[in-house]
Structure 1
């Protein structure tokens, strides 16, 4: 089987049914696996940081929130080069490389958490390396966008993103089990504290899976010749106003998802220290599952409509969290965060669904009346620009993984609680509602569905 595919036209229905669908599905499956592990590694410190005081580390609350936040910042920054890596090196090749790079954060964590004398700067450096896992999303989404026809991108990108996002839930559910105390953690063995905590297992447990994903990508994924483009072509997408509008909205959706996922375990630990029930993993799970729903609803009802009302729901959920924090109700806070996570998932799907629609529409309009060859060239350019925008907006959106934990840490340090940070988040969601309405709902064009070529030329 050749790893390089030179002829690829997914919008040709005959080609798609005969060849394209099978190849695209195989690449999607291994892309999801690799991205899932990337997300898991990215969020390792959301769980690890909460256990450091129990194993002898004398870090302040603000420092613990910083350890949770640093991978978010690095992951966001890494998404810029990762976006451009797919057209430069090939989707299959880069998936292999990006998977193997995850050995750096997992091994460094496994070593340092067994040494309570580790200085904070070195621990922060190890946490920063976990950001490599955050970069995987951008390259994965950019890569998969080339494999599917425009009319099927919503579901494909939703499944790819959801499969990766579930990695956050995986790490927050599995790591507490595998670090102990308990029989499973003890069976793995190694260094442990008097409390029976095997914290190094949080890193070691992912190594076999990392190697599996790298091997699967090497043997079963493909590079697409049509995905190749130079840096100048990709940067052309940054001149389009939609790139920056979608980026702002994506901070509100994905930034909230990854930021709350990172901060919630530590936030609940600080606000409700007497509660031992581990429920934080549920938020990332429901948010991940809701993501394909957002893409589906956007296909049926319009991306702008779904995104607008979704931000309204996020604002109300924020007010609910503030209310139950003031009431000291653990059940209420968790319930409101579950609502918040569902809306982040729906918003992620609906916001990303708008990208290929917008760029296809604009490029087809520009090629109107210039013949079949011009239309085909416009579609290719639209796919390349859409892939670049998916990566760039995911990078900007991922900054929420840094700002939300840092905001909670700063709010708790300054006021003793998280309410101040949540008030700022509420007003940010209001700006997202206003931007969605102004740019996509007040005009005659609603980001609703992909027009046919005939409709676009009409």
Structure 2
């Protein structure tokens, strides 16, 4: 029996078999304080947990590949980087249908389904990594299924965006994303220890450990999360978001922030080995980059709530350009210490830029709704369009996670060094800094006056 909430709203009991909330008005201060906040917080907590497991599975290959040649594989640096890039590309592609899944099935229901889908890549990795006889093509195909974990981000962010009022959305989305992003750091920190339990090297443990965790995430979503009727709509508002020019401008910016984060996270352990031949550092310390970047993401959202997302995003791109220049110089000087430090700086900048760019999305669609009259129906449509844009932008941005390792692989195989790739990133970040200023921070523009 489906349970609903009507005005005045009532909280459905945890464990309800089908839980839908019909009335949801977080912009009403009384509703938010008396009813909305605890429900939103509960959904945020379990959304973070499920997304964390998804991100972990998505980036499992980033650290497993460091030890593949130790268990019988004979892979080049380019082949290894492709194994880290393909899951990112598949995950980016899946973010579009995952975004549509929230209005189609409900946020809670899709969280359950998407968590259970993680069993496929986790089990596939556990089966394949210690069977070199299957060949590289099969291994690459199995690695591609890790993209299921990347799709989780889009549906999670689209769902949580409905729960929070505009004034708290930046920090809430930042927390949701950071909790997921931390899955990268957790994988890179603990998998190297898990795979050597018992004194040997058993790479299959990396996949096996996430099968029960995926089940736990699905069970917790079933017991503790809710579906919002407001979010359950036809796909039209999502498609309408594609007509908004800023959806595509922000997609470009998100390639530079999130695409850099996920691309650097997947490639960094391999680069430490390929450039400096330091597998020990890759296995012991590479996780710091993803960890720092993840923790910086809520800071980007929080700062954007206060000073404007465009200003923070510009600062992030300036930091990314500085970090890329420092990384380039460190490779030229063969300085491992500076290389490591420059990448930590890059990760901080990506995290702040992730939070600020995402904060700009909901703010831009809110302004769009106000310019179109600001009626309750218009603002509801605007929120639905914003949720759709979140998924589209996260998908396009995530393709950066595919491009970054491929660019490094091309640079290394063609020139024998990653310097050309770093030069490209330096120029790219400067261009994105200019785009952000021109579109959102240029003096006299509407978006600048509104502190987007």
The TM tier, using the shorter chain, reads over 0.9
String of CA shifts for 1:166-197, please: whole Å, max 9, x gaps: 000000001000011xxxx118xxxxxxxx21
**Structure 1 residue runs without a partner (length 5+):** 188-195, 369-374, 452-458
Q: Which residue of 2 is the match for residue 440 of structure 1?
A: 440
Counterpart secondary structure, 2:42: helix
Question: Matches of 1:136 and 1:445 in 2, distance apart?
Answer: 34
Q: Which residue of 2 is the match for residue 158 of structure 1?
A: 174
Q: CA deviation at 1:153?
A: 0.4
Q: Which residue of 1 is the match for residue 397 of structure 2?
A: 397
Q: 2:125 aligns with which of 84, 92, 109?
A: 109
Q: CA deviation at 1:30?
A: 0.3
Does residue 219 of structure 2 align to residue 215 of structure 1? yes
Counterpart secondary structure, 1:239: coil
Question: Matches of 1:217 and 1:225 in 2, distance apart?
Answer: 17
Q: CA deviation at 1:446?
A: 4.2
Over aligned residue pairs, what C-alpha RMSD do you find? 1.3
String of CA shifts for 1:129-183, please: whole Å, max 9, x gaps: 0000000000000000011111110110000000000000000001000011xxx
Q: 2:209 aligns with which of 163, 184, 205?
A: 205
Cα–Cα, structure 1 residues 449 and 167, in superposed 2: closer, same or farther, change >3 Å? farther
Counterpart secondary structure, 1:135: helix
Q: CA deviation at 1:450?
A: 8.0
Question: Matches of 2:162 and 2:71 in 1, distance apart?
Answer: 46
Cα–Cα, structure 1 residues 149 and 448, in superposed 2: closer, same or farther, change >3 Å? farther
What are the equivalent positions in structure 2 for 1:26-425 lying under 5 Å apart? 26-180=42-196, 185-186=197-198, 196-274=200-278, 276-277=280-281, 278-367=284-373, 375-425=375-425
CA contact (8 A) 1:47 1:176 kept: yes
Q: CA deviation at 1:232?
A: 2.1
Q: Which residue of 2 is the match for residue 15 of structure 1?
A: 31
Normalising by structure 1, we get a TM-score of 0.93
Q: CA deviation at 1:449?
A: 6.4
Cα–Cα, structure 1 residues 126 and 301, in superposed 2: closer, same or farther, change >3 Å? same
CA contact (8 A) 2:90 2:144 kept: yes
Paired residues in the alignment total: 433
Question: Matches of 2:60 and 2:441 in 1, distance apart?
Answer: 39
**Structure 2 residue runs without a partner (length 5+):** 1-12
Cα–Cα, structure 1 residues 275 and 75, in superposed 2: closer, same or farther, change >3 Å? closer
Normalising by structure 2, we get a TM-score of 0.94
String of CA shifts for 1:202-224, please: whole Å, max 9, x gaps: 10111121111100000110111
